[in-house]
Amino acid sequence: MRKAVPVKPRRRPLVSAGVLIGLLLVALYLWQMAQTAANPELPELAAGVVLGAAAVVLLLAILRRR
Is the residue at 32 inside a domain? Answer: yes
Cα torsion at 21, 45, 49, 19 (round to 10°)? Answer: -20
- Domain span including residue 41: 13-64
Number of domains in the chain: 1
Query: Would residue 20 count as lying in a domain?
Result: yes
Whether residue 3 is contained in a domain is answered as: no
Show pLDDT as tens, one digit a residue, over the chain (66 residues). Answer: 788 888 776 666 677 788 888 998 998 888 888 888 888 898 889 999 999 999 998 888 888 876
Is 8 part of a structural domain of the chain? no
What pLDDT does residue 40 have?
Answer: 84
Q: Which residues of 6-31 are buried (b: 16+ CB within 10 A; e: fewer)?
A: eeeeeeeeeebeebbeebbebbeebb
Compute φ and ψ for 3, nearest 5 degrees.
Answer: -95, 140
Any domain includes 42: yes
Q: Is residue 2 part of a domain?
A: no
* pLDDT at residue 62, rounded to an integer: 83
* Residue 7 domain flag: no
Report which secondary-structure segment, H or E, holds 41.
helix 41-64
Global confidence as pTM: 0.68
pLDDT at 11: 64
Q: Return the pLDDT at 10.
A: 67
